């Protein structure tokens, strides 16, 4: 593992050093786990007690945190992002093999860019193109005509279906499925007819897609995940959705067909958003929240039941079935009191 | 891409032509995106404004829509289904390779029907059978003794576990897992004992299963998905469930063990249904709804919290913990007013 | 299939025989489906009517069930666990091939223990180790440096990412992803920076992980699933979580980052638990429940909306937006009545 002084870290990350700039660190760890040769970080003053007790050799801290700490510090405006860069410097990912593994099945007319790694058992369809420096993990499948931009990292067992388009620097985690058919059904007499899904799934640049997440292809138009959007695991994005740039979506979220999520949104885990809605920019949807109507103003939106002991819940929840009646009883009391 | 006149489309789909029957279309698109050489459709009068503004060369419309439109139209009783057929005619799926790819690992005693395509890296176990004209996508695994009916389409990376049975014309999307063990646990002293799952997962004819959806095998009896049922992505069907014919289930739904869903039901996205329930035929469960008791009458059922601004939610939701007390307070007010 | 007398079953399972100990059974089935040559079971007196009508040749029953039954019985303190053992004896799983399939891609420096089976198309990375008697299903991927303990069963298409550790006797179902990156993002000016995920995912001994379930690796520290924990399908365990020993988690559950679930807990299907929480030992979270705060006392906790007909729901749910106002109206009525 590489070792760097605070001064060397500063050369990469910027910021201001507080304390000994020659302090050497050779790895990263959490405040609780760090040893005197490791770098750690704190995001706000809520972690001050932990920071003071930490054995870490140096810390990355927010520059607006004007507090003495026992450790030498590198102070920056975006401490979490700076720490992310420091992790990449101090604990670089293991190097990846080069070249096309002999067990990969690559169509003769697929275009493979320079310095690409294609792992064991990968299947690349006719007319597909793989951009320069891409790394395609073992047992992934790139369908006919699909396009993968430069510098993408596909982990093992990713599927990109035919004709779909992935921008530059995408990261796709194991089990992700890009461009499966949307759920298009038409009723006819006594059964469902499948509506062929003729659109594509398009991921713009710098998109990350979590493990076992599904981005369906469009029915006629395309499904689009805009630049810089980040999606966690086990998410469903239905056909014709559009997820705005730099929007982050936590795990287990479902977004039904043709819904548009704005830019800079944050969608909490397990939130569910029905179809054909518009969510404007800079909306935060709380975890577990169900969204069934448009959101036209930035802000935080929520719709969850508070947790109760089961016995309490039984007594309270039963009344939810009679809330309308309760309101009428209150109204009638109000009328009577007015009469009196 | 093939080009067809409205008269030729009518020969395939039936219906009545309104306007020039020689109008030529050579592709499909949404009302907003269609060009003068493309076919589009509308399902009801709510889309009339969009239809009038559309550049589409021709439209498929409901026959009961008695309205003049600028475009030549083909009017039919099931316009969405007719459009689905038209998409298949005008934008046929790319042709699939024939034969067994040399990299596939097919057990010597597996039965492979005529005109089957088996993709790269597919693994087919001992005693499995693959019906005529099936297409098995790259890196799929068909377990020992599993049976796949005629004309099935398995996309890449599908798993059908040992002994499971898939009917005719099934479509299984990437990452689908048919016949994994149900979650069978028995407590013994200080830990869980695994209950072997000895049943099968059975899909009858014309079933579609979405990406990364799981249909568990039965514990003793079988798990059954009946004819024509359609399941979207990331759905969990637990052991011993039965999903009735022509029932459609949207993404992210979970159905716990031994529950039976009737025929012609529609289960909205992210609905969760607990185990050992009976849901009768023709029930619609709204998206996001939690079902914890039998449903014995057809109709629409719902159980979701309305969305609020987070600040409003904080004020309102706190009272849910005291609803029982509130009802008692109202009751006491009513009693006092009666006394007065 | 092997045939066993009740006396032979008793030799394996313990317990007391009621009736003819020479009764021969040669398979297992549910009470409803069992034939006279098959063994079935009942867990409590609620199944007595079904048991009396059952054609089963013999039954496993709870020893505290002091009731005459028409069938010979084997009575034990843990009837479900005993039945689980009986299924394994009477319907043993099909034997697995031995050795490393020639199509598997095993790194030259991977350590493969004795009597291991490695299926077709499996990819095992550099420095990985596979314990004795493991069975690795077709098309699974074991990343560089990952360690799999003795006697594990990996079904087809499992991914264990680099450096992760799996204990002894684990069962991993198809599509499971162990050790994908956690969802670590840091905001910087106008976009998200990826926080490298430097921790591992660790599964202790006797853990079972369902189909398409995701256990993310830690950000800095590790994600840990403790001994004997059992997880169903389509579950998300985020980075730095800890799931206590012998805790069982049903399908579709999501647990956000850094949350700790105690030992002997049961988490119902589709429950969602937010990040940075502590749930103590022996907590039951009901299905569909949303947990947004620590739980410090054992017990059953719930937070779901009751199901209603949609029309009733519309009338009742609307008032949830005005619950705070309603409470104020009741308070004002109470004040007025006091004045009177």
The total of other beta-carbon atoms located within 10 Å of residue A192's CB is 20
What is the CATH architecture of B100-301?
3 Solenoid (2.160)
Give me the pLDDT at residue C340, please.
65
DSSP H helices in A200-240? none
Residue from B118, B120, B126, B196 whose CB has the most chain C CBs within 10 Å, to mutate: B196
Please tell me the distance from the alpha carbon of residue A108 to that of residue A232, in angstroms, as a whole number: 34
ipTM of the complex: 0.95
From C185, C191, C186, select the one nearest A228 (Cα to Cα).
C191
Closest chain C residue by Cα to residue A83: C195
Share of chain A above pLDDT 90, in %: 94
Number of H helices, E strands in chain A: 5, 39
> Is C276 one of the catalytic residues?
no
Q: Does C67 touch chain A (CB under 8 A)?
A: no
Choice among C117, C155, C173, C239 that is catalytic:
C239
Give me the pLDDT at residue A88, please.
92
Gap from C30 CA to chain B (nearest CA, Å): 6
Please tell me the distance from the alpha carbon of residue C138 to that of residue B105, in angstroms, as a whole number: 10
- C177 phi and psi, to 5 degrees? -125, 110
Interval B243-297: pLDDT, tens: 999 999 999 999 999 999 999 999 999 999 999 999 999 999 999 999 999 999 9
B204: helix, strand or coil: coil
Chains that touch B (3 or more CB pairs under 8 A): A, C
Chains that touch A (3 or more CB pairs under 8 A): B, C
Give me the pLDDT at residue A95, please.
74
| Contacts with C337 from chain A: Cβ below 8 Å | 337
Please tell me the distance from the alpha carbon of residue B263 to that of residue C204, in angstroms, as a whole number: 43
> At residue B340, does pLDDT exceed 70?
no
Interface of B with C in 98-117 (CB under 8 A): 103, 105
Largest CA distance in chain B: 91
CA distances from B30 to A28, B33, B83, B248 (A): 52, 5, 11, 24
Q: Is A4-90 a domain of CATH 3.65.10.10?
A: no
Give me the pLDDT at residue C46, please.
92
Interval A163-211: pLDDT, tens: 999 999 999 999 999 999 999 999 998 899 999 999 999 999 999 999 9
The topology under which CATH files domain C99-301 is: UDP N-Acetylglucosamine Acyltransferase; domain 1 (2.160.10)
Binary contact (A254, B246; C-beta < 8 A): no
Q: CA angle at residue C101 from C98 to C104, to 5 degrees?
A: 135
Arithmetic mean of pLDDT, A48-53: 95
Q: Does A298 touch chain B (CB under 8 A)?
A: no
Q: Does A290 touch chain B (CB under 8 A)?
A: yes
Choice among B80, B162, B239, B310 that is catalytic:
B239
| Contacts with A322 from chain C: Cβ below 8 Å | 316
Give me the pLDDT at residue A265, please.
98
Give me the pLDDT at residue A340, please.
65
| Contacts with C221 from chain A: Cβ below 8 Å | 29-30, 32-33
B314: helix, strand or coil: helix
β-strand pairing of C4-5 with C58-62 = unpaired
Arithmetic mean of pLDDT, B307-322: 92
Give me the pLDDT at residue A57, please.
96
Interval A207-238: pLDDT, tens: 999 999 999 999 999 999 999 999 999 999 99
Query: What residue spans define the domains of chain A?
Result: 4-90, 99-301, 310-339
| Contacts with A270 from chain C: Cβ below 8 Å | 254, 272, 290
Transcribe B85-137 into DSSP letters: HHHHHHSPPPPPP-EE-TT-EE-TT-EE-TT-EE-TT-EE-TT-EE-TT-EE-
Q: CA angle at residue C315 from C312 to C321, to 5 degrees?
A: 130
C248: helix, strand or coil: strand
Interval B93-149: pLDDT, tens: 777 778 999 999 999 999 999 999 999 999 999 999 999 999 999 999 999 999 999
Beta bridge partners of C283: C299
> At residue A81, does pLDDT exceed 70?
yes
Confidence of residue A11 (pLDDT cuts 50, 70, 90): very high
Share of chain C above pLDDT 90, in %: 93
Please tell me the distance from the alpha carbon of residue B306 to that of residue C289, in angstroms, as a whole number: 16
Q: How many CB pairs under 8 A join A and B?
A: 230
Average pLDDT for consecutive 10-residue bins of chain C (340 residues)? 92 96 95 95 93 97 93 96 95 82 97 97 97 97 98 98 98 98 95 95 98 97 97 98 98 98 98 98 97 97 93 91 92 86
The total of other beta-carbon atoms located within 10 Å of residue C189's CB is 8
């Amino acid at each position: 593992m590489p070792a760097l002084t605070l001064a060397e870290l500063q050369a990469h990350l910027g910021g201001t050093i507080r304390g000994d700039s020659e302090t050497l660190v050779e790895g990263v760890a959490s405040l609780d786990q760090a040893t005197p040769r490791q770098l750690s970080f704190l995001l706000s003053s809520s972690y001050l007690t932990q920071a003071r007790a930490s054995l870490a050799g140096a810390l990355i801290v927010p520059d607006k945190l004007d507090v003495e700490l026992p450790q030498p510090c590198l102070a920056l405006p975006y401490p979490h992002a700076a720490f992310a860069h420091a992790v990449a410097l101090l604990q670089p990912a293991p190097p990846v093999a080069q070249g096309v593994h002999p067990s990969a099945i690559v169509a003769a007319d697929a275009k493979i860019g320079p310095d690409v790694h294609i792992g064991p058992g990968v299947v690349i369809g006719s007319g597909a193109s793989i951009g320069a420096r891409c790394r395609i993990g073992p047992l992934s499948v790139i369908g006919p005509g699909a396009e993968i931009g430069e510098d993408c990292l596909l982990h093992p067992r990713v599927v990109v279906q035919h004709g779909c388009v992935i921008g530059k620097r995408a990261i796709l985690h194991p089990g992700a499925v890009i461009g499966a058919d949307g759920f298009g059904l038409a009723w006819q007499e006594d059964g469902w007819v499948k509506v062929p899904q003729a659109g594509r799934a398009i991921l713009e640049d710098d998109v990350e897609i979590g493990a076992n997440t599904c981005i369906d292809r469009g029915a006629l138009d395309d499904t689009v995940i805009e630049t810089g959007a980040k999606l966690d695991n086990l998410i469903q994005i239905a056909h014709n959705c559009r997820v705005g740039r730099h929007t982050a979506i936590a795990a287990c979220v479902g977004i039904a067909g043709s819904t548009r999520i704005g830019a800079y949104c944050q969608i909490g885990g397990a939130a569910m958003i029905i179809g054909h809605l518009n969510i404007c920019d800079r909306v935060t949807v709380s975890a577990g929240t169900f969204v069934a109507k448009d959101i036209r103003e930035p802000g935080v939106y929520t719709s969850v039941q508070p947790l109760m002991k089961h016995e309490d819940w039984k007594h309270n929840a039963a009344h939810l079935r009679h809330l309308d009646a309760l309101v009428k009883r209150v109204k009638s009391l109000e009328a009577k009191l007015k009469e009196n």
